[in-house]
Structure 1
Amino acid sequence: MQFIHPRKGRISLEQMVEDICAFIEEDRTSVYKMVIGTDSQTNQRCTLFVTAIIVHRVGKGALFYFSKKRSKPLLDLRYRIYKETEYSLACMERLKEQGFLGASLELPVEVHLDVGRKGETRKLIQEVVGWVTAVGYTAKIKPDAYAASAVADRFTK
């Protein structure tokens, strides 16, 4: 799985984990949280999914990466929201498999979902929030879901 850092360009999962660990080591006294969110954009040719991975040094900035995945055009909104949620959770699992969030690094994890109380996605809130919390993470929806609705969204255009 490839990731993109805004200044460094394409990097591997291993490099991303090293960067994140170095970022945290710079200031071990700060409070950190891990935020992951996925957004998608569909056109006639494909659906582009972008997953944003953010390590937030609370009150002192953040480090972020993103990955892109394309599929055939997905027009069904429910299916697309489920895929976005699946990609965010799968990314978190890959990070865990890489040894990230082990015993030496316990960060709270938020999964930001691109659903909100306004619009068509309001019907899906309970389902996707339930899925994320059942896996053990904190779920955030719009307007608090900035990883999906702001960061990932920016790279789907």
Structure 2
Amino acid sequence: MHFQSPSSGMLSVEQMIRHIESYLEEDPKAPHKIVIGTDSHTTHQSTTFVTAVVIHRVGKGARFYFRKQRGRPMFDLRHRIYKETELSLSLVDVLNAKGMSQLLSAWPLEIHIDIGQQGETKALITEIKGWVTSVGYVARIKPDSFGASAVADRFTS
């Protein structure tokens, strides 16, 4: 599994974790939060999923990394939103397994979901937020889900 960094290029998960640790050590007293969000885009040929990891130094900027995956086209919105959420939650498990569990427990972790009060995804809010919170994470939706709706969305095409 590899992630793209706008400033450092392609990184393995282990390299990304070292980058994150280094960023957190630059200003350890500053409040940080870790954000994971996934967005997708479907064409007739495929669906592209982009999962972003954002380390937000609250009020002082952020760093982000993203992973792009392509698969068969998924036209069903409900199925796609569930897959996006699954990819975000699965990444937390991978990061924990790779030694990032201490960082994930030290700073607030938010799962950003590309759903909101407007549009077709409104009907999914209760169940998707319930899923994320039932496994112990904070769920954010639009307009507060920048990890999915801004960062990951930027790289879906």
What TM-score results when the alignment is normalised by the length of structure 1?
A: 0.97
Q: 2:17 aligns to what SS in structure 1?
A: helix
Distance 1:70 1:35, change over 3 A: same
By how many angstroms is 1:16 displaced?
Answer: 0.2
Q: CA RMSD in A?
A: 1.2
* Matching of residues 105-124 of structure 1 within 5 Å: 106-124=106-124
* Equivalent residues, number: 157
2:38–2:148 Cα contact (<8 Å) kept: yes
- 1:59 and 1:117 map into 2 onto residues whose CA distance is 26
Runs of 4+ residues deviating >2 angstroms: none
Q: 1:102 aligns to what SS in structure 2?
A: helix
2:142–2:149 Cα contact (<8 Å) kept: yes
- 1:102 and 1:130 map into 2 onto residues whose CA distance is 25
By how many angstroms is 1:84 displaced?
Answer: 0.2
Q: Which amino acid aligns with 1:119?
A: G
What TM-score results when the alignment is normalised by the length of structure 2?
A: 0.97
* Matching of residues 74-89 of structure 1 within 5 Å: 74-89=74-89
- 1:103 and 1:115 map into 2 onto residues whose CA distance is 27
Q: 1:130 aligns to what SS in structure 2?
A: helix
Gaps of 5+ in 2: none
- 1:142 and 1:105 map into 2 onto residues whose CA distance is 24
Q: Which amino acid aligns with 1:81?
A: I
Q: Which amino acid aligns with 2:116?
A: G
Gaps of 5+ in 1: none
- 2:15 and 2:155 map into 1 onto residues whose CA distance is 21
The residue aligned with 1:155 is: 155
By how many angstroms is 1:104 displaced?
Answer: 9.2
